[in-house]
Amino acid sequence: MELSLDDSKWIKVGNDLLMPDIAALVRDRLEGRRGLSSTADAEGIGKMFLRQLEEGESPSTGGLRLSSSGKCQRALAYDYHHYKPNGFKGDGSSPIVFATGDILEMIIVTALEEAIIGTPLEMYYTGLNQKTVSLGVPLTEGRQAKVSGHPDGMMRVPAYNETLDEFTMVNLILEIKSMSDYGFKMFRKKGLTKDDSYFYQQQSYQLAMTQEGKADFNWSYVLAFGKNVTSKDCELEEDGSVTNLHPLVGGYLAGCDDTKREIQDRLREVILSDSPEEFPRVMSPATAPKKKGQLGFPCDWCSHWKTCWPTAREEVVSSGFFQRSNKLKLIVGE
């Protein structure tokens, strides 16, 4: 296999596997401005932002979507059984937040498309050509439900096995996320972990694509943009050296068969349930004196919290020291 990536563009993934450092390729293209070589569809990109002003598509199975496959099962059941949302509701800023995410996605996809010209990496099903994937969820007596989702893209990339001295091409799901300061720092340190709902989303996309039967998908690559990172941010290493922090980092996420089984089980249980009450709440009110009665994430962002916690109310809570901010928090009890 002819590979035209220099040594710095490979990263170790696991014990003996080297795969392309996709984030480094994108960063190089973003830093080296020049005329466009790819056939970016400027009109299509514009249409993508404007869709945020239009009505969204209805999900295939009740309110279930693969992007929510790691969400609280009780919340999934409220959606599936068509409970009217009465909790957290986005305001007029939501379309702008989503459009900002679309802009980020399109500039990164276009930079990546340019960066891989002349390399063995391939990218497809991005932007307006995103693919709808459907995960089959076996129910009873041979019946199965389909739950759909929209990965940001897909890629085929080379992987070099050092032990076998062998190159293979690997299929992967591509995901582009903008992250808050906390989320980004965690991602940079640990990548996606099972505590993160994106982990479930990625595993569900991999399984849906593998079920299609054309190729195995056992990898995802997540490109994360830290919304609060600037070019002045850096890390002081233990040996005293300074490492500049990039606002754009990436990480490979290997398939996890246990999680893929768990996702199908979680969705099946919701689809076969009679009521959301069959699923326990995922959290209890805080007991620490300063936060007594507070419910945090995910309940305070849940669109069904008023049904789930009928005695909860929103109260203004101040936090922070140098920069104090007021936020509405859910409180249960006195």
User: Interface residues with ligand SF4 (CB under 6 A)?
Assistant: 72, 74-75, 78, 281-282, 298-299, 302, 304-305, 308-309
Query: CB of 313: closest distance to ligand SF4 in angstroms?
Result: 13
Eight-state DSSP code of residue 46: H
* Nearest alpha carbon to residue 174 among 201, 147, 210, 134: 201
Quickly count: other Cβ atoms within 10 Å of residue 144's Cβ.
Answer: 13
Q: Look up residue 35 and give its DSSP letter.
A: -
Minimal distance in Å, beta carbon 90 to ligand SF4? Answer: 15
Write down the least CB distance from residue 276 to ligand SF4, Å.
Answer: 7
Residue number with CB closer to ligand SF4 (106 or 295):
295
CB of 287 to ligand SF4, least distance (A): 17
- State the minimum distance, in angstroms, from the CB of residue 11 to ligand SF4: 36
| CB closer to ligand SF4 out of 110 and 201 | 201
Using DSSP bridges, classify how beta strands 248-254 and 219-226 pair: parallel, antiparallel or unpaired. antiparallel
Q: Which residue lies nearer to ligand SF4 by CB, 78 or 160?
A: 78
* Closer CB to ligand SF4, 104 or 332, in the complex: 332
Closest approach, Cβ 308 to ligand SF4, in A, equals 3
Residue (222 or 308) nearer to ligand SF4, CB: 308
Angstrom distance (rounded) from CA 263 to CA 203: 8
295 neighbors 285 (Cβ within 8 angstroms): yes
On whether the CB atoms of residues 207 and 220 are closer than 8 A, the answer is: no
52: Cβ–Cβ under 8 A, 6 or more apart, which residues?
95, 96, 98, 99, 102
Instruction: In whole angstroms, give the CA distance from residue 78 to residue 103.
Output: 32
- For 61-85, b/e burial (b = at least 16 CB within 10 A) is bbbbbbbbbbbbbbbbbbbbeebeb
Task: Identify the residue whose tokens are 């959606």.
Answer: 79
Q: Which is nearer to ligand SF4, 183 or 298 (CB)?
A: 298
Q: Which is nearer to ligand SF4, 161 or 273 (CB)?
A: 273
Is-contact 11 19, C-beta < 8 A? yes
Specify whether the CB–CB gap between 198 and 186 falls below 8 A.
no
Closest CB 273 distance from ligand SF4, rounded Å = 13
> Quick one: 47 or 327, whose CB is closer to ligand SF4?
327
Taking the complex as a whole, the smallest distance from the CB of residue 79 to ligand SF4 amounts, in Å, to 9
CB neighbours of 274 closer than 8 A, spacing ≥ 6? none
* CA dihedral sign, ordered 196, 80, 205, 279: positive
